[in-house]
Amino acid sequence: DAKTTQPTSMDCAEGRAANLPCNHSTISGNEYVYWYRQIHSQGPQYIIHGLKNNETNEMASLIITEDRKSSTLILPHATLRDTAVYYCIVVRLISNTGKLIFGQGTTLQVKP
Amino acid sequence: EPEVTQTPSHQVTQMGQEVILRCVPISNHLYFYWYRQILGQKVEFLVSFYNNEISEKSEIFDDQFSVERPDGSNFTLKIRSTKLEDSAMYFCASIAVGAYGYTFGSGTRLTVV
């Protein structure tokens, strides 16, 4: 699975959009970009995933560049509860059994 | 919203003792996983399980570890002889066929003393 690079930490003001970047320059054509987050020491929580098109759900938007070498997770209106470690993970899915290889992630601090 | 349930939430055990961590995955999920996170470190994959057998395991998952689905609902991780370095949060996860996002449990904090 391709490796990802994320900034170690970011701050965001409450109510503003949080834009979390991720580089995955060695991504292969059959690999998806997944985002998870971990609030304090809870279990990771799935946020969103995409292959090459931009995606949006009730939690976030995912923007993937045309060459697929980088992506940005957007939390449109960050709240204090969005303070967490955010993981960008590239996964080659084989019948849903693709294991997740977690990096250090980006620690997002949402401030009042 | 359906949840993956893990018990106990915290377990303290003596070094050398056997421990069994329990998980109840979401009922229609068929793929099951264990991950662990040593304090301050990354979340690490341990093992995946499908159709009553291990589909993949990491190098961490040595002979001291085993998994079992003893009935239709529970999924367990056994550590035969615990070491101090086994102290970690252990997360169970499951996913349904055709789904894309795993659901993780809230974890069991294992402390080996």
Asked whether residue A14 carries a pLDDT value surpassing 70, the answer given is: yes
Inter-chain CB proximity A102 and B104 less than 8 Å: no
Give the span between the Cα atoms of A112 and A91, in whole angstroms: 34
pLDDT for the residue numbered A2: 65
Q: What is the average per-residue pLDDT within A19-44?
A: 94
State the smallest CA–CA distance between residue A44 and chain B in angstroms.
6
Cross-chain Cβ contact B56/A49 below 8 Å: no
Asked if the bond preceding B8 is cis, omega within 30° of 0, the reply is yes
pLDDT value at residue A51:
92
Taking only the tens place, the pLDDT of each residue in A37-94 is 999 889 999 999 999 989 999 999 999 999 999 999 999 999 999 999 999 999 887 6
Q: What is the dihedral of CA B60, B62, B66, B67, to 10 degrees?
A: 40
Q: Which residue in the set B42, B48, B101 is minimally distant from A102, CB to CB?
A: B42
CA distance A2 to A15: 33
CB count within 10 Å of CB A4 equals 23
Per the CB < 8 Å rule, is A97 touching B105? no
Separation of alpha carbons A65 and A105, rounded Å: 20
3-state DSSP assignment of residue B58? coil
CB A74 within 8 A of CB A43: no
Q: What is the pLDDT of residue A11?
A: 97
pLDDT score for A94: 63
Rounded to whole angstroms, how far apart are CA atoms A48 and A52?
13
Local mean pLDDT, 10-residue blocks, chain B (113 residues) = 92 98 93 95 94 93 95 92 97 87 95 98
* pLDDT at residue number A97: 62
In the three-class reduction of DSSP (H, G, I as helix; E, B as strand; rest coil), residue A3 is classed as coil
Token pair recorded at residue A73: 């997770």
**Beta bridge mates, B79:** B19, B65
Distance CA A81, CA A22 (A): 22
Give the β-pairing of A9-13 and A106-111: parallel
> Residue B34: its pLDDT value, please?
98
* Cβ–Cβ contact B50 with A under 8 A: yes
Q: Which helix (H) or strand (E) holds A101?
A: none
